[in-house]
Structure 1
């Protein structure tokens, strides 16, 4: 791929699995970004990763990386617990930020981050990479330009009991270190919360990407034989009705996708496990001539595509195509509302929701 003349110099915070599987490769493959620096608290892991990716600089101290004037932007690839604080430090240091999803774990901390984004005027993009899936981009274009009014959305994200068997076959072995920095409490200590943040954040953002603001949720949760299933009735500001299904884990293949019914056509989509780097299979039905169009989406590297979109925004002022801080906050609000609805058995208004997921 041809390289742009202007390159966004990226510093990656965290050299763990998500950086190894997604972000470091994206930096070296992107047409408009350069992997300038890597920062990790574990010196042995940092040395091994740097030997392969050859950044110009390495750091074990995050603030030292932020003090480097050559670093234009930071990718935050750490545990969810540190997303907000790491983002604030980067913004205050004058850097643009691409932060892994979810942007935070409570409404209040994300509101605090939003104020910093507004005050500094820096670009912050949340790593909801599915917005850069070519199939979903085609679906969004049809929604915006041809579909007319929306009627109903059914969307599902069902992890599989066999996901690690399948992904271990295609992913490189992740490098690890005993010196890696870890949260004081294991994120998996509360599995309900962990599943919602890790998986539900994808489902909620996809629903918002397709249909706009979620105004109300009514959720039910069933937990049996080690599996968890959330069924969530959703109301959207544009009048669309929705049903979201988050299940971890189904006794079958990975099952993710959506159906969307509209005035001038409908969309049926199947989304694959992200580590296959395969665009969603999307079929768009056009009512006017009763034909169906299927999108190939040959370039399925949505992590690289999201970085290129982020870099375009920072370097050229292009419209931000990825999730903004407002999108990230709305997603956390919706997840907190789902948790509250499960707890109370009542419908919960999303825009006024506060608290933790």
Structure 2
């Protein structure tokens, strides 16, 4: 087969919830990728997933999967604490990487990973799948091509108390194993940290995707009745000002979206619970014509589309449209800066931060 019609052989590390809800199906449905292998040390979980999804190979040992010469790329679908080391192992084995967000949990480890990516010559894409939402893509295209200078933007990500009623109805029944590998500390033992890593990584990436590099944040956090609310003022390198709202959980329906004010028009976007696989409703207002348009965005399988994009980069040398290593590092720096700003009550520059969440 030629490069143009060859499929990328994908190995998925981790058979837990995110693999079951997103990555197995994405590899099966992708037009240019194939579910070649899965890996998990929990025998019962791995064997059940192999029976369900029929990869060509199944591994209990990650190094053995990486040693397979037919394997092209790895999806890192483990818990956050294992992302960096698993990615480094894959890169050193000569494999491309799609790593779930957040890229890591400390500035130092993601900077180490950046060095590994640069030395490897391989592709690393971060799993900020919202970049493959057709509505968000229509907003980005308008910003880049027609809007002119951006004045300001607001982005909000407000998880709902009713999210599990929604996800339980639409996701597959999750299979668990008592033998699953767990990090030294339960990620949900500190909810402030957990929510920032899980949801803040999306919020920051969307803001950066639209407005460019974030240089400084000033954040406040209020925690009442089990709800956490961050209000974050953001300064961008290009002078744009921004406001971010991360709230978990609001006593209402899922509330996520963005508003962008520009020289030649504005944008208002409403984003849905990702497991509905529904593209964002994005209204683009053009000042010149006095009209508003909205892309239909019928294909809302963001996870499949991000895998196809990675495959195109590797197989066809297509430009990277997903989040790259620099985007992943910047998101981690931003989350650490937000945590430090909350603790100090002062604005924090991203370039000055170190440590982790």
TM-score with structure 1 setting the length: 0.98
User: For each residue in 1:111-146, what CA deviation from the matched residue of structure 2 results, as whole angstroms up to 9, or x when unmatched?
Assistant: 000000011111000000000000000100000000
Report the CA distance between 1:317 and its aligned residue: 1.1
User: Distance in 1 between the 2:327 and 2:236 partners?
Assistant: 14
Q: 3-state DSSP class of the match of 1:307? A: helix
Is residue 73 of structure 1 aligned with residue 73 of structure 2? yes
Residues 1-12 of structure 1: pairs in structure 2 closer than 5 A: 5-12=5-12
Match of 2:333 in 1: 333
Q: 3-state DSSP class of the match of 1:178? A: coil
Report the CA distance between 1:181 and its aligned residue: 1.0
Match of 1:36 in 2: 36
Match of 1:197 in 2: 197
User: Distance in 2 between the 1:218 and 1:355 partners?
Assistant: 18
Match of 2:17 in 1: 17
Runs (5+) with no aligned partner, structure 2 = none
User: Distance in 1 between the 2:120 and 2:82 partners?
Assistant: 20
Runs (5+) with no aligned partner, structure 1 = none
User: For each residue in 1:45-88, what CA deviation from the matched residue of structure 2 results, as whole angstroms up to 9, or x when unmatched?
Assistant: 11111111111000000000000001000000000000000000
Is residue 308 of structure 1 aligned with residue 308 of structure 2? yes
User: For each residue in 1:213-236, what CA deviation from the matched residue of structure 2 results, as whole angstroms up to 9, or x when unmatched?
Assistant: 001100000011110100000011
Is residue 287 of structure 1 aligned with residue 287 of structure 2? yes
Match of 1:113 in 2: 113
User: Distance in 1 between the 2:226 and 2:45 partners?
Assistant: 34
How many aligned positions are there?
A: 354
Q: 3-state DSSP class of the match of 1:295? A: coil
User: For each residue in 1:143-162, what CA deviation from the matched residue of structure 2 results, as whole angstroms up to 9, or x when unmatched?
Assistant: 00000000111110000011
CA-based RMSD: 0.7
Is residue 249 of structure 1 aligned with residue 249 of structure 2? yes
User: For each residue in 1:169-191, what CA deviation from the matched residue of structure 2 results, as whole angstroms up to 9, or x when unmatched?
Assistant: 11110111111111121001111
Match of 2:150 in 1: 150
Report the CA distance between 1:305 and its aligned residue: 0.3
User: For each residue in 1:309-352, what CA deviation from the matched residue of structure 2 results, as whole angstroms up to 9, or x when unmatched?
Assistant: 00000111111111010000000001100000000000111123
Q: 3-state DSSP class of the match of 1:351? A: helix
Match of 1:167 in 2: 167
User: Distance in 2 between the 1:137 and 1:279 partners?
Assistant: 10
User: Distance in 1 between the 2:76 and 2:139 partners?
Assistant: 29
User: For each residue in 1:245-264, what CA deviation from the matched residue of structure 2 results, as whole angstroms up to 9, or x when unmatched?
Assistant: 00000000000000000000
User: Distance in 2 between the 1:186 and 1:257 partners?
Assistant: 30
User: Distance in 2 between the 1:183 and 1:256 partners?
Assistant: 30
Is residue 260 of structure 1 aligned with residue 260 of structure 2? yes
Report the CA distance between 1:5 and its aligned residue: 1.7
Q: 3-state DSSP class of the match of 2:170? A: coil
User: Distance in 2 between the 1:212 and 1:160 partners?
Assistant: 28
Greater displacement, 66-75 / 347-356 = 347-356
User: Distance in 2 between the 1:320 and 1:36 partners?
Assistant: 23
Match of 1:62 in 2: 62
Match of 1:351 in 2: 351
User: For each residue in 1:32-53, what CA deviation from the matched residue of structure 2 results, as whole angstroms up to 9, or x when unmatched?
Assistant: 0000000011111111111111
Match of 1:324 in 2: 324
User: Distance in 2 between the 1:166 and 1:66 partners?
Assistant: 36
User: Distance in 2 between the 1:170 and 1:11 partners?
Assistant: 25
User: Distance in 1 between the 2:246 and 2:59 partners?
Assistant: 38
Match of 1:50 in 2: 50
User: Distance in 2 between the 1:138 and 1:112 partners?
Assistant: 34
User: For each residue in 1:16-43, what CA deviation from the matched residue of structure 2 results, as whole angstroms up to 9, or x when unmatched?
Assistant: 0100000000000000000000001111
User: Distance in 1 between the 2:277 and 2:215 partners?
Assistant: 32
User: Distance in 2 between the 1:234 and 1:60 partners?
Assistant: 44
User: Distance in 2 between the 1:107 and 1:142 partners?
Assistant: 32
